[in-house]
Structure 1
């Protein structure tokens, strides 16, 4: 054999060896199944890597950058954080002192003695998490910003004889194992009994109450949005489980790091807009939801991208909606009858008007004798969108929840700079007098004013007249907490909780970068602004205004306390594996015991004389108003009644108020 052939043979052998080694490495880190994932996400997941590889790619922060982050965090906690006195009392924590101690240590450190950036990020996360506020976060810099760590399965909790069990409910397409299947029960996690492992995980995550920390602890076992959640301590997990035949087995799997898919919708939190100033959202819950959808509901991803595949059937199982991934509406046939069902996955919408209009369209196409609204897992979003929905479900005028700043000189400067007379879209002028007055009174908080305008919260009026059940869980947060509080405070219907409480996030949240922008716009910028740009894309979020309840619990904060449901449903194994069947039947059972009302109006105006046909159910009296003035009152029975009224040429609004034995139960507005 000549030298060229020998060389060629060596290259071939070397190439084959490299291929085998590559395959072996891919198998070792557990990435080989990604080539068989759903077409909607397969190409995107091709860039996923194992945890050690990602760690090596992570940039480090120098000493100056670390000091700058700590200094800016001190400004947020000292001068902007609305819950600081409450959290100090509630949890016995002092994040300001912890930041001072960290700054002191950094001042005593030289560049060559710096430990890995991981230690700094971990300490910052612990300080922010100590206040148990999912609104108030340290957001890690690049390359963590758009990454999440995951395992290829999801775990959920159900109860049997009041004892919790933890089973696998979803497995990513492409992952195959002879025994590890949907329905297997988890016993231990890295050698730790599963309930203890969840408790340890919960302690690493934020959550305003035990129920919220518990569910975040479950999510954190398998999904970690790296911008806001701690990195996994171990490179892999060893899970002991009971298979479907009752045999004890083990699975070892490495953590995988992937990039989030581009956001398909939502609020631009950095824009100086009404939407950005009105955010109430659990960022970790929103990102976890996006990760779950990507991994375990790829057909939904395809649908949202307009790429419904031939074998996908999900699109035909629901009423088509203009807001895919936000709303899901269908009729459900329960053991107690046929009812409407709407799942609200998120309030993270840029246009609350369009969101409410779409909800109206969907709810009017559903059965009218009972409605289930399911907001489980909804981390919030636009506060206007959440409070604007309430009017559709009740004749009662809606009082949006009022909000307070903490009284500081910096918050006063921000409010003064953004009054309606100075900059149209953002108007913080209402809070200025009370913050100024606090110099004399020593008050901790400003006066309270709603973020959602009262006119917006009542501009459409009631559109659904049947009974309503609201389903909540401990993952409901922020704008969703506000929605649930308004639902309860206005006595709209029955709240059925799968947990003992909602997530208890009662605040409006702003980013550090947004606060910086507020003092730089309009030009010229504030020459004494304390906000400085953070290095390498790092950011922070802070609860800036706290919300207070209305109605019978007027003045009570939502933060940490949350909304307790009227009744509790413990999720069953059938719920987790068969489309929430027992939960939906329970909601249907509650709906069947609630009174039904109906008010339909057909209206024809002919040169000032209007013929009105009214169809009612469950009403005994109907009052009619023109531009707020009463003009007619009639007794009604179930069925259709007709009447004729005179309408002045200048009239703009026709209103109907329905009563059942003097109780106000239905309303309708007609724009003339």
Structure 2
């Protein structure tokens, strides 16, 4: 039980953080006509009247009202890392106006006790509420700036609900009405909630590591993702706990990053073999190792075309998401930029000698805002642009990316970079990506950064915590300066079908393959052989060679074939292939 002083300490900390550091505060006030700071002050005035549960529920409601999955409050009774689950997965197909909700997977039939309740049944009611109406009702409790994003998260929360940062289910049992196709028989089943505790993967981000302040993730969604994996991919889960490289199923390529990555060769009726790269999460601690593993997987996939699938990706390490883009394009990649609120708190944080290396670049614009009245600092990248181009293009073929409203945070950053750097078509199941545009910090991160400033934060009572969006993401390219928060990244819409849900997304894959077929294919392969370099080209008409950034020889006219060239004596050799004057391929080779 918290005493009165502890309750006031929690409220005062949240007032300080939301008013002084929460990067989306002006946008949320404008979008939702709310004032979370005033709501916290009002809660402070009546804190003695509330029970323990009422107090934490009131705080949770205020923070959830921001519709921001980065910014959450977790009370002492919150189940850290725990997920309330029902043993099946619900997915939606069809249009928004006429959705159909289908059970796509069943984890443990013995827990359901109804042999007729299997993959493929259509859900009609939820505790006697029409199912579509139940989704709409739950969406009002969910984060997300767009209605479709809130509905997508509500649909997930009907069967998987993280207990940290949100309220638990109200009911202990759920009555579900369903139909069996094609006979149209209607039945009802009652299923109890159960709680699971999925541990994090060995490759995931570790608190206190060099990457811990460069995270963009919905931690609640990440825990839910792990719970799904534990329930529906049990063999992969067990292999992961044993520390061995595994493949998810027959046809998938083995990988040490199987919690974050999966890759396989797929076959399309019209395009033949294509590569398929599934990025489940960017929750990794070592971006260099992650990039190296993706390169290894790409080398094992056909270069006729690639589908990069980020649906349901809850985010993770910003560096991993933004550095990955360079593998798919000959263009120089420009990362997103981030700004902070121009408040006395953020100025004090940036002035602190303990934060000088991390915030020095933002300090001049924060100081200038005192006179100019700017609400935000100058936007600057969190991922060094040089890092975003240090490896270069590694995949020759055309690339399409797939996202949905549950593609969030670092997933949003990848989607934005994919579009803004003109890498390929972005396919959206829904109106766009999930619309999470920020770098998220924990209470520990912020408290540590404010040590020695006038805004030092006191420690919170045991097991109480929060996360906060501290640096606001802005897009580059044609959408330069546009925020990602609440908007997401729109693309080419696609409506899922029942065939997709029950047969490994084959309609979606055919849809993506159609776009890949329309992109001209070029090839550039480089093989170093002692003092010479064998360069294979296809679909290109000019080849440029650079040694440590300087031209090595005159532009060479090429066609389809292999060319043996002298090897420049340089640390980095770069080959650039053009077609009709446009750069189509680029390769970097180290000494």
Deviations 1:459-480 (A, max 9, x none): 1111111000101000111111
Shift of 1:70: 1.4
1:188 to 88, 111, 125: 125
Aligned to 1:100: 41
CA distance in 2, matches of 1:348, 1:472: 17
CA apart distance, 1:161: 11
Alpha carbons 2:339, 2:376 under 8 Å: kept: yes
Q: For residues 404-483 of structure 1, what are the structure 2 equivalents within 5 Å?
A: 404-418=339-353, 427-483=358-414
CA contact (8 A) 1:205 1:229 kept: no
1:339-384 deviations in Å (ceiling 9; x for gaps): 0011001111100010001101100110011011001100110000
C-alpha contact (below 8 Å) 2:338/2:382 kept by paired residues:
yes
Aligned to 2:11: 70
Tell me the residue number matched to 1:267: 205
DSSP 3-state at the match of 2:70: coil
Q: Please provide the CA RMSD for this pair.
A: 2.0
- Whether the 8 Å CA contact 1:170–1:296 is kept in 2: the answer is yes
Q: 2:360 & 2:95 partners in 1: Cα distance? A: 54
Superposed displacement of residue 262, structure 1: 5.0
1:130 to 51, 65, 82: 65
Q: State the 1:142 CA deviation.
A: 4.2
Separation in structure 2 between the aligned mates of residue 531 and residue 551 of structure 1, nearest angstrom:
38
CA contact (8 A) 2:523 2:536 kept: yes
Contact kept in structure 2, 1:625 and 1:632, CA below 8 Å: no
Q: Give the Cα–Cα distance (whole angstroms) in 1 for the partners of residues 300 and 200 of structure 2.
A: 32
Contact 2:82/2:223 (<8 A) preserved: no
Q: Alpha-carbon deviation of 1:265?
A: 3.4
Aligned position for 2:504? 579
Given that residues 140 and 226 in structure 1 are in contact (C-alpha distance below 8 angstroms), is that contact kept between their aligned partners in structure 2?
no
* 2:251 maps to which of 301, 306, 317: 317
Query: Does 2:322 correspond to 1:397?
Result: no
Cα distance in 2 between the residues matched to 1:482 and 1:402: 10
8 Å CA contact 1:204–1:230 kept in 2: the answer is no
Equivalent residue, structure 1, for 2:308: 373
Map residues 65-214 of structure 1 onto 2, 5 A cutoff: 65-106=6-47, 109=48, 114-115=50-51, 117-142=52-77, 144-159=79-94, 163-173=98-108, 174-175=110-111, 176-214=113-151
Is 1:253 equivalent to 2:204 in the alignment? no
Deviations 1:137-163 (A, max 9, x none): 112324522322112222110117972
Offset at 1:586? 1.5
The match for 2:166 is 229
User: Contact 1:504–1:561 (CA<8 Å) still a contact in 2?
Assistant: yes
CA contact under 8 A between 2:107 and 2:232: conserved in structure 1? yes
Aligned to 1:9: none
Q: For 1:313 and 1:343, how far apart are their aligned partners in 2?
A: 12
- Asked if the contact 2:337/2:474 (under 8 Å) is kept, the reply is yes
- Residues 339 and 435 (structure 1), Cα distance of their counterparts in 2 relative to 1, 3 Å cut: same
Q: Deviations over 1:173-225 (max 9, x none)?
A: 23341322221111111111111100111111111212211110001111111
- Once residues 373 and 236 of structure 1 are traced to their aligned partners in structure 2, the CA distance between those partners, rounded to angstroms, is 38
Matched, 1:541 2:467: yes
Change (3 A) 1:314 1:386: closer
Shift of the alpha carbon at 1:229?
2.1
CA contact (8 A) 2:247 2:255 kept: no
CA gap 1:532/1:588 in 2 versus in 1, 3 angstroms: same
Structure 1 runs not aligned, ≥5 long: 1-59, 521-525
Q: 2:518 aligns with which of 589, 593, 615?
A: 593
Q: For 1:338 and 1:360, how far apart are their aligned partners in 2?
A: 19
**Partners in 2 of 1:652 and 1:294 — Cα distance?**
46
Q: Which has the larger radius of gyration?
A: 1
1:304 aligned residue (237, 240, 259): 240
- Aligned to 1:427, the other structure's residue is in SS state helix
341-350 or 651-660, which moves further after superposition? 651-660
- Counterpart Cα distance in 2 of 1:233 and 1:63: 27
In structure 2, how many angstroms separate the alpha carbons of the residues matched to 1:219 and 1:644? 57
Alignment partner of 1:469: what SS?
strand
Per the alignment, residue 14 of structure 1 pairs with none
Q: 1:480-495 alignment to 2 at 5 Å?
A: 480-495=411-426
SS in 1 for 2:211: helix
Q: Deviations over 1:547-602 (max 9, x none)?
A: 1111111111111111001x222111111111111111211222122111110122
Tell me the CA shift for residue 264 of structure 1.
3.5
Three-state SS of the structure 2 residue aligned to 1:535 is coil
Answer yes or no: is 1:291 the counterpart of 2:227: yes
Aligned residues: 586
In 1, Cα distance between the equivalents of 2:566 and 2:83? 64
Question: Is the CA contact 2:543–2:575 (under 8 Å) kept in the aligned structure 1?
Answer: yes
Question: Are residues 1:633 and 2:555 paired?
Answer: yes
Alignment of 1:52-67 (within 5 A): 60-67=1-8
Distance in 2 between the 1:331 and 1:278 partners?
33
Once residues 284 and 484 of structure 1 are traced to their aligned partners in structure 2, the CA distance between those partners, rounded to angstroms, is 21
CA distance in 1, matches of 2:375, 2:136: 35
Residue 18 of structure 1 is matched in structure 2 by none
SS in 2 for 1:482: helix
Aligned equivalent of 1:569: 494
CA distance in structure 2 between the partners assigned to 1:142 and 1:230 by the alignment = 10
CA distance in 2, matches of 1:527, 1:314: 49
Distance 1:660 1:439, change over 3 A: same
CA distance in 2, matches of 1:248, 1:169: 18
Task: Please say which of residues 486-495 and 162-171 is displaced more in the overlay.
Answer: 162-171
Aligned-partner Cα distance in 1 for 2:106–2:380: 46
Shift, 1:263, TM fit? 4.5
Rate the CA distance shift 1:381–1:307 in 2: closer, same or farther, 3 A: closer
Is contact 2:247-2:254 (8 Å) kept?
no
Q: TM-score, normalised by structure 1?
A: 0.84
Q: Which runs of 5+ in 2 are unaligned?
A: none
How high is the TM-score relative to the length of structure 2? 0.95
Q: Show the counterpart of 1:28.
A: none
- How far apart, in 2, do the equivalents of 1:553 and 1:324 lie? 33
Larger helix proportion of the pair: 1
Pair 1:363–1:240, CA change in 2 (3 A): same
Aligned in 2, Cα 1:143/1:545: closer, same or farther, shift over 3 Å?
closer
